[in-house]
Amino acid sequence: MTITELERKACDIRADVVTLIHKAGCGHIGGDMSEVEALVALYYKHLNCSPENESDPDRDRFVLSKGHSVETLYCILADRGYFDKAELMDTYSAYGSRFIGHPNNKIPGIEMNSGSLGHGLSVAVGMAKAGKMDGRPYRVYAVLGDGELAEGSVWEGVMAGGHFKLDNLTAFVDRNRLQISGSTEDVMAQDEQERRWAAFGWNVVSIPGNDIAAVDAAISLAKETKGKPTVIILNTTKGKGVSFMENLAVWHHKVMNDEQYETAMAELAERKAGL
Amino acid sequence: MATANKQVVCNVLMELAKEDKDIVVLCSDSRGSGSMTPFADELPGQFIEVGIAEQSLVSMAAGLANAGKKPMAVSPASFLSTRSMEQVKVDCAYSHMNVKLLGISGGVSYGALGMTHHSTTDIATIGSIPGMRVYFPSDRFQTEKLTRALMADTEPAYIRVGRNAVEDVYEEGKVPFEMDKATVIREGRDIAIIACGELVWHAMKAAEALAEKGIEATVIDMYCVKPLDREAVLKAAQTGTIITVEEHVAIGGLGSMVAQVTAAEAPCRVVNLCLPDSPVVTGNSKQVFAHYGLDAAGIEKTALELLK
């Protein structure tokens, strides 16, 4: 896909996420919206993953460590044909549904269950280490939240990724600067992530994380980087794409009323039309 | 003295790993205490040192399993069953990854090192996780059979072994073993003793002493703590009196699991010999077992009192 096509796809995914959450009456919309560019760039350009190669040992691996932002992942996987989009839209979070509020690997396309923060990076390290041991060509990607970085177990994974020089591993930090209680800097300061990861031996790229061209270029750079893993600090906007949600902690998991839903959809349509 | 159970696990893994490159051992600065140094030296390409980081030890093992490896994560049982508990829950059991967890120096093996190093709640913590299995092998021969069976299957499991070599319960070449079926060591009609791990030998010795006094005891080696062998419990219940013996606290342990079965299906008296709801007395395993009446003499004494 071209950059413009990826941008259009990001608009479509945002509209799907807004619709899914409005319909279900629940979801973590703020972090869904901030991570869209990273997931779209991965799933529509970089990941060697498809419904056809789901059990191929050489498929790329993706781990959503910030599992609460699962709605974006669901909408992308549905669009990529892993499962029926109508089933997702009709049953998400409903009684008996297989689509729950966090990633679950009973759903096609999902590698690992997550939801409890601080697990995904170390799991991704294990996947990447296995790839190195067997000389397999696959790459491993993990997306973490910035609030998640307060979990000590994250840093065990950062340490191990650097120690094992896993250049087949790329981590993303969705640095939207907000968590459920407010600003990350008020809750538990997370600034200077660049220095923190670099100190553990990682290649660090810090970019405007809602700029899909920048995300695309950073992933390409990570693929070319040898001898160390790469972290891409995505400087993003929580609630990105819907004006009344942007940069407000309350939209971590607030649900839209019907009027807000119409406004959000109109804004996203307008954005797409302008591309 | 016999070979320590943890050494047996290493020996079996080395043999299997030479034929199967997907078998991987992970340690958290625990290769020495886990008796895994020979594996690390001989098969360095299949050995991963993660440092003193029990959480990423288990998460990494799950990631390796996702990529088709057959990992055995080795760490002191005390840390593996508490520090890593959420990684066991989410990354291994819930994500359904083929990770085997070896809790070494289990129970009160670390003796005077104190409660930080004792694992007396691992049946309760690990066993309560949906999808996790818990095994407490009794001696080196059973440990070998169990290790082979576990490495041949694809489900996650936790195995607890002690630090030191223990007395043989079975004889070389005569080791009855059926996966997930308790081993009935002897049958008697007066009383039944159900034990797991190192305390099976003490249960067996207690039964021998009771036999000399004309009391016939059934002895069951419940190495498969979860899934518990329900049929074996019902068989024990036929004697009317069951003593359970475990190197574990009462809550959520072998005794409580046995009592759940008997209460529902075959009501009988179940007396649980176990560790207290407090830090244990300072001492080595032998001293601690004797202190709380878990050794052969203590089990025999309890049996005699119950049958008065």
**What CATH number corresponds to the domain at position A202?**
3.40.50.970
Q: Does any domain span residue B67?
A: yes
Q: Would you tell me the crossing angle of helices B199-212 and B296-306 to the nearest 10 degrees?
A: 50
Residues B245, B248, B252: CA angle, nearest 5 degrees: 95
Residue whose token pair is 């009988």: B268
Q: Does any domain span residue B172?
A: no
**What percentage of chain A has pLDDT greater than the value 70?**
100
The pLDDT tens digits of the residues spanning A154-202 come to 999 999 999 999 999 999 999 999 999 999 999 999 999 999 999 999 9
On whether both B199 and B66 belong to a single domain, the answer is no
The pLDDT tens digits of the residues spanning B51-79 come to 999 999 999 999 999 999 999 999 999 99
Tell me how close the Cα of B38 comes to any Cα of chain A, in angstroms.
Answer: 20
- Label residue A269 by pLDDT band (50, 70, 90): very high
Q: Does any domain span residue B165?
A: no
What tokens appear for A224 in the block? 């070319």
On whether both B132 and B267 belong to a single domain, the answer is no
On whether both B209 and B299 belong to a single domain, the answer is yes
Residue A37: what pLDDT?
Answer: 98
- Label residue B19 by pLDDT band (50, 70, 90): very high
On whether both B154 and B187 belong to a single domain, the answer is no
On whether both B146 and B192 belong to a single domain, the answer is no
Residue B2: what pLDDT?
Answer: 80
Interchain pair A122, B56: CB under 8 A: yes
**Touching check for B92 and chain A: CB below 8 Å?**
no
On whether both B187 and B134 belong to a single domain, the answer is no
Is residue B141 a contact partner of residue B110, using CB atoms and an 8 Å limit? no
Interchain pair B60, A129: CB under 8 A: yes
On whether both B116 and B198 belong to a single domain, the answer is no
b vs e for B260-289, b when ≥16 Cβ sit within 10 Å of the residue's Cβ? Answer: ebbeeeeebebbbbbbeeeebeeeebebbb
Number of domains in chain A: 1
Chain B partners within 8 Å of A129 (Cβ)? 48, 60, 63-64
The pLDDT tens digits of the residues spanning A208-221 come to 999 999 999 999 99
Is residue A23 a contact partner of residue A258, using CB atoms and an 8 Å limit? no
Chain B partners within 8 Å of A163 (Cβ)? 51
Tally Cβ neighbours within 10 Å of residue B18: 12
On whether both B201 and B114 belong to a single domain, the answer is no
pLDDT(B1) > 80: no
Q: Does any domain span residue B267?
A: yes
pLDDT(B132) > 90: yes
Strands (E) located in A124-177? 140-145, 169-175
Q: Does any domain span residue B168?
A: no
On whether both B146 and B10 belong to a single domain, the answer is yes
Dihedral sign for Cα A92, A95, A99, A104, please. positive
User: Average pLDDT for residues B201-215, to the nearest whole number?
Assistant: 98
pLDDT(B119) > 70: yes
Residue B145: which residues within 8 A CB-CB, separation 6 or more? B175, B177
Which residue of B lies nearest to A138 if distances are taken between CA atoms? B67
The pLDDT tens digits of the residues spanning A92-134 come to 999 999 999 999 999 999 999 999 999 999 999 999 999 999 9
Interchain pair A122, B63: CB under 8 A: yes
On whether both B62 and B152 belong to a single domain, the answer is yes
**What CATH number corresponds to the domain at position B297?**
3.40.50.920
On whether both B70 and B205 belong to a single domain, the answer is no
Tell me how close the Cα of B67 comes to any Cα of chain A, in angstroms.
Answer: 6
User: Average pLDDT for residues B290-300, to the nearest whole number?
Assistant: 98
For all residues of chain B together, what is the average pLDDT?
97
Residues spanned by the domain of B62: 5-160
Closest CA to A261 of A240, A246, A244, A248: A244
Residues spanned by the domain of A257: 3-273
CA dihedral A260, A263, A269, A271 (to 10 degrees): -100
**What CATH number corresponds to the domain at position B117?**
3.40.50.970
Beta bridge partners of A142: A63, A171
Residue B228: what pLDDT?
Answer: 98
Number of domains in chain B: 2
Closest CA to B250 of B280, B285, B214: B280
On whether both B47 and B85 belong to a single domain, the answer is yes
Interchain pair B94, A113: CB under 8 A: yes
User: Average pLDDT for residues B208-231, to the nearest whole number?
Assistant: 98
Q: Does any domain span residue B290?
A: yes
Dihedral sign for Cα A204, A208, A213, A215, please. positive
Chain B partners within 8 Å of A156 (Cβ)? 50, 53, 55-56
Interface test with A, best of B26, B47, B59 (most A CBs within 10 A): B59
What tokens appear for A270 in the block? 């307008």
Chain B partners within 8 Å of A64 (Cβ)? none
Interchain pair A130, B45: CB under 8 A: no
ipTM over 0.90: yes
Residue A220: what pLDDT?
Answer: 98
pLDDT(A74) > 70: yes
Interchain pair B63, A115: CB under 8 A: no
User: Average pLDDT for residues A10-27, to the nearest whole number?
Assistant: 97
b vs e for A238-263, b when ≥16 Cβ sit within 10 Å of the residue's Cβ? Answer: bbbbbeebbeebebbbbebeeebbee
CA dihedral B223, B228, B230, B231 (to 10 degrees): -30
